[in-house]
Amino acid sequence: MAAPPMLAVALVLLAVAPRYGPHWDELYFGMLPPRWWYEDQPPLTVWVTWALGRVSDDLWVQRLPGVVAAVAGAFVATLYPRTLGASPQVQRLAGWAHAFTVYPLIMGHLFTTSTLDLLAWQVVVLCVLRATLGHPHGLLWAGTVAGLACWNKLLVVVLAAALLVGLLLTRRSLLVTRDALLGSLVFVALGAPQVLLQLVHGLPMTQVSGGLVDQQGDLVRLALLPALALFVGPPLLLVWGGALLAPWRTDRPGRFLLPTFVVVLLWTLANPSQPYYPVGVLLPALAVGWVTSGAARRWSLRKSSWVVAANGLVACLVCLPLLPPTEPWLSALSRVNPTIRDQVGWPGYAQQITSLRGAGEDVVVDTYALAGAVHRYGTAEDRAAVHSGHNALWDLGPPAGDLVLLVGEDAVRQRDAFDTCRSAGTLETGPVVHPQLVHVPLLRCEGPVTDWQTLWPRFRRLTG
């Protein structure tokens, strides 16, 4: 039942994978060596990126895990109605609806930590749903998947806490079973190493998250509910909304989804670094909603198929680089989907920086994406010369020479660390640009006032 949507989304994502350019985060991951932990994230996504980089630097190769995750997500979506005993037609409809709505398409086109995290949330919620329906070992599998997911993104801990609240309010008896105990132990055993590494190093991820909250927290709170509706599909609101409300009112399967969603929503409002966090609960609700919601009972299969198709068409236009990256299309699209904005312009930025870099001169960039752009598009000499204090790149160490080109506001603020500095201009940007790349200053400096090991902590920057 899942084969048609799985095949379709795979073909679409493979077709557009090489278009535009790498995303802000993809440039960053491509610069990181494999390690057991990083200040701003667990290591799994970086490990996969590094391994694929040994095979090819082609963008479509780097994005294959995103395609695989999207295909797997469509398959998992069909398992929700199957678990609830729905017909093959409804199972297939759930697969199409998931595969071609906004957030799964965005995550399938890119490969970031959120790509695998979405799939993990889907599987964990499915396992809990199966447990509430009497399937053996559901909570054990939920704990296992959640524990493994901690090696990709620690946000799954929030999901685990929310599911605990959801089950406490709806199926408390499940929490005193042998599988619940074993699942909890496995979750702790698998996830503890990454949590402990964060604790030992002073929880640097909280500083990264705090930086994002400072930058965009008010906007995230204001736009959270509309953004969630967009991510899951406005035409499908009656389906996923009904899946949250109808079981709660009538004690139907999936009753735990509403309190789980509310907990994640409240956590996002309290920590508004990104608006997409609750989507990992709403997409399972969408899959369940084709069975439990009032809309699913009122709509014919034909009407449901037309709604899913219309939503999918608009989602593809909004999420994927289908048209040439030209104005005014690019500016308009980037206002709705900022990830499009984050995939253009990198070769130009890298060329400007490398052309300004003098012989024997190192480059210190305050933004990991710009550093990653130089690393991806520059020569071998350029790659060896670029450094950054942004997040995990700081651990790669400082430059060694006396001549340095500082790039970015945070970097040029350290001009007093050198004997002499002079302006090297600003980066030229196009009409579509990330807010952190507007009027980026450049400063050419020489003569560090002390050794680089002493100076390097001043360049450290933990933020999103």
Q: Would you give the DSSP letter of residue 32? A: P
Contacts 24+ apart (CB under 8 A), 303-311: 304/93, 305/93, 305/96, 307/235, 307/236, 308/93, 308/96, 308/97, 308/100, 308/236, 309/96, 310/235, 311/97, 311/100, 311/101, 311/233, 311/234, 311/235, 311/236
Residue 101 region by backbone torsions, left for phi larger than 0, else alpha for psi between -120 and 50, else beta: beta
Residue at a domain's end among 336, 359, 379: 336
Q: Are residues 315 and 379 in the same domain?
A: no
CA angle 173–176–182, rounded 5-degree value: 135
Q: pLDDT tens digits, the chain, 464 residues: what are they?
A: 679 999 999 999 999 999 999 999 999 999 999 999 999 999 999 999 999 999 999 999 999 999 999 999 999 999 999 999 999 999 999 999 999 999 999 999 999 999 999 999 999 999 999 999 999 899 999 999 999 999 999 999 999 999 999 999 999 999 999 999 999 999 999 999 999 999 999 999 999 999 999 989 999 999 999 999 999 999 999 999 999 999 988 888 899 999 999 999 999 999 999 999 999 999 999 999 999 888 888 889 999 999 999 999 999 999 999 988 887 888 888 888 889 989 999 999 999 999 999 999 999 999 999 999 999 999 999 999 999 999 999 999 999 999 999 999 999 999 999 999 999 999 998 777 777 888 999 999 999 999 999 999 999 999 98
3-state secondary structure 85-115: CCCHHHHHHHHHHHHCCHHHHHHHHCCCHHH
Q: Are residues 353 and 331 in the same domain?
A: no
335 membership: H or E segment, kind and range:
helix 329-336
CB atoms within 10 A of CB 158: 18
pLDDT of residue 296: 81
Residue 27 corresponds to which tokens in the numbers above?
Answer: 């440039």
Report which residue type is found at 165.
Answer: V
Q: Are residues 177 and 223 in the same domain?
A: yes
Q: Would you give the DSSP letter of residue 358? A: P
pLDDT of residue 293: 84
d(CA 425, CA 89): 61
Q: Are residues 270 and 374 in the same domain?
A: no
- Per the structure, the count of domains in the chain is 2
Range of the domain at 422: 346-459
Q: Which phi and psi (to 5°) does residue 85 adopt? A: 80, 20
- Reduced to 3 states (helix: H, G, I; strand: E, B; else coil), residue 247 is helix
Q: Are residues 94 and 206 in the same domain?
A: yes
Q: Are residues 332 and 350 in the same domain?
A: no
Q: Are residues 305 and 352 in the same domain?
A: no
Residue 212 corresponds to which tokens in the numbers above?
Answer: 């994002």
pLDDT of residue 1: 66
Q: Are residues 422 and 306 in the same domain?
A: no
Under 8 Å CB-to-CB from 44, ≥6 apart: which residues?
Answer: 113, 116, 151, 152
